[in-house]
Amino acid sequence: EDQVTQSPEALRLQEGESSSLNCSYTVSGLRGLFWYRQDPGKGPEFLFTLYSAGEEKEKERLKATLTKKESFLHITAPKPEDSATYLCAVSRAGYSTLTFGKGTMLLVSP
Amino acid sequence: GAVVSQHPSRVICKSGTSVKIECRSLDFQATTMFWYRQFPKKSLMLMATSNEGSKATYEQGVEKDKFLINHASLTLSTLTVTSAHPEDSSFYICSARVGPGNTEAFFGQGTRLTVV
């Protein structure tokens, strides 16, 4: 059974204070690892897809990295508008569905 | 990214009635759409996978007669909650994949269902 564990559950940062979110996964035949951002009362917004260990992707203040066991979402100099819940999900080769973690709720204070 | 539109964003219905939620892919054809349910401060729980022109595949524990899914076209899937009860109150979200070879899924805005 695929498993995705995200840590921490919640993270409070000061504006400009860089940090990382962790996503540990267990999946038989990883097809892709996904990061989404979810604002309260909204659907998830796609951020990144990572396919193989060593891959990195960046978007503005966010950078996602992938190893064989985990992924990190690095947030550099965050701003209050980065406050949201960040979800990690994996898909298995041969399957169309995603398995989600419980998310990390990020709060960035001005 | 691709746009998925979900309607309505909020709905309140009386216990025992049915409510339909629509999910449309606006700028692409979605051969596969997914329906999720999300409880407060919990992650997304997959309810069912719908493929255009065929019956939906429901996850274990999801009542197919209660949650009717229709995927009649490549741009529209609907979820009908039949004989709704207060315990069906939740946040329902749909998603769609751009194509069978594409792993990325894009999500609708979600529908907050409240059954009174």
Dump the DSSP string for A35-68.
Answer: EEEE-TTS--EEEEEE-STT-EEEETTEEEEE-S
- Tell me the chain B residues in contact with residue A102 when contact means C-beta distances shorter than 8 Å: 42-43
Give residue-wise pLDDT tens across range B26-60: 988 888 899 999 988 788 999 999 988 888 999 99
Option in B49, B93, B104 nearest A43 (CB): B93
- If one compares A9 and B55, the residue with the highest pLDDT of the two is A9
Partner-chain contact A41 B110, CB within 8 Å: yes
Alpha-carbon span B111 to A40, nearest angstrom: 12
Average confidence score pLDDT of chain B? 91
Q: Is B111 near chain A, with CB under 8 Å?
A: no
Q: Is A59 near chain B, with CB under 8 Å?
A: no
Q: Is B104 near chain A, with CB under 8 Å?
A: yes
Alpha-carbon span A48 to A71, nearest angstrom: 11
Does the pLDDT value for residue B99 go beyond 80?
no
B75: nearest Cα among B29, B43, B41: B29
Q: Is B80 near chain A, with CB under 8 Å?
A: no
Tell me which residues of chain B, numbers 18 to 77, contact chain A at a CB-CB cutoff of 8 Å: 32, 34, 41-44, 46, 49
Q: Is A57 near chain B, with CB under 8 Å?
A: no
**From edge to edge, which strands make up the β-sheet containing A19-26?**
A3-7, A19-26, A70-75, A62-66, A56-59
Identity of the residue numbered B97: R
Q: Is A87 near chain B, with CB under 8 Å?
A: yes
Does the pLDDT value for residue B104 go beyond 90?
no
Partner-chain contact A43 B6, CB within 8 Å: yes
